[in-house]
Structure 1
């Protein structure tokens, strides 16, 4: 498990956020970390896969939120599901209206905690060559060209572009029910340890993206915010 503080600097103010990454190697005990209502939901899931996603997602989000709330008991930080299954944080001392964003793949979970006044979202995706054709079908021509130019890293780039759209759709609170062309990527800039993406229609947002071994990680945030982390995600592949 890795948890890192996020420093979100605007022109007039700095906000604090927190990010937690878990893998399948992290051991999580449901009864120790889930509040009673959460545990009731957990045991009602029939699928072990769905149970694991729920448990690990809640745990990662709680760890991130507790970092900002100054809370030490995970059972006092409850995460319920909204009408669109979006995670909603409940905690008695949540005076700053801390919100959370959760994403998971088969073997990695990522979660963000951030003040509601500074919207953010996270997405993690596994890089799988078998998904390449399907992803490319849903990309726009200019985005498909980014994949082609990545050459031997085309699967990584396609997965990264898809994750960029996912994280933006979460900030917009639509998910991928939104028309995909509205999420058109207009700009891609490569920095030393990450990429930065901007959008044609939602110009107020940007996405920063990293490669972590066989996964991509993206964070959507306001365009004019400077994001600094105490720990940079490891094993960035320069594609």
Structure 2
């Protein structure tokens, strides 16, 4: 089994006026992030198997395509780190991150029920880039989603073809190269689709971006048909990180940005 290295972890503290002490106590306004890469051959790291459920280990070993296996391992380990940090437990191998009917990840905690953690399980969102994966654990009462998007100029024709006339006008207002701006809009829609558990299995104009606001350290994105959500975006070393959350939820600190 491959070794992994943790690139960063973080806690996102959230605030809403309509949430009380009980909501805060059960973790509704809390999310945890983890950023993980699979080590190159000869590079020191931790055995990924330490983090994986037996079913995950079995599936990874059956994957013959190196790229798919590496992406799977990095994503599952990132999910386990964010999950164990959210739950404050040190038993990651008791949780199985399984694919739902649309491929969306969900946490099977059947083997953790005896520990008292089975009924407390959060949701998890997973994102992949070319050489690393990120995951975010969050409470099911407060839907969220993340995405990573490397800047890929070769993808520009496809990205442009999926933009509406209104989105092209919105993009033009940003002080960004055209490819960067197009990749940003695509990543925003990916994170919104994960939040809604639809991924991009809907006509993309449904996710039309209505507004982009530069609010350092973020760019904030609003949608024409989903006014109840907003997405925040920022750059990392390879491209864009995007996070979708309910529009009226505030992020109270930005120290977690160090992990992306």
The aligned residue for residue 183 of structure 1 is: 207
The aligned residue for residue 67 of structure 1 is: 85
Matched, 1:34 2:52: yes
Contact 1:206 1:220 survives alignment (8 Å):
yes
The 1:154/1:234 distance shift into structure 2, 3 A limit, reads farther
For structure 1, list consecutive stretches of 5 or more residues without a partner in the other structure: none
Matched, 1:18 2:36: no
SS at match of 2:257: coil
Per-residue CA deviation, residues 152-206 of structure 1 (Å, 9 max, x unaligned), is: 5222111111000111111111111111010011111111101111111111111
Aligned length: 236
* Greater RCO (Cα-Cα under 8 Å, separation 6 or more): 2
> Cα offset for 1:51?
0.6
**2-side partners of 1:217 and 1:102: how far apart?**
12
Cα-Cα RMSD: 2.0
SS at match of 1:80: strand
**2-side partners of 1:181 and 1:233: how far apart?**
30
Runs of 4+ displaced beyond 3 Å:
23-28, 94-97, 146-152
What does residue range 54-93 of structure 1 map to in structure 2 within 5 Å?
54-91=72-109, 92=112, 93=117
The aligned residue for residue 63 of structure 2 is: 45
The 1:28/1:177 distance shift into structure 2, 3 A limit, reads farther
**1-side partners of 2:71 and 2:176: how far apart?**
32
The 1:154/1:233 distance shift into structure 2, 3 A limit, reads farther
Q: Which moved more, 1:215-224 or 1:152-161?
A: 152-161
Contact 2:124 2:136 survives alignment (8 Å):
yes
Query: Which has more radius of gyration?
Result: 2
Alignment partner of 1:215 out of 239, 243, 249: 239
Contact 1:4 1:18 survives alignment (8 Å):
yes
Question: What TM-score comes out, normalization by structure 1 length?
Answer: 0.91
The aligned residue for residue 189 of structure 2 is: 165
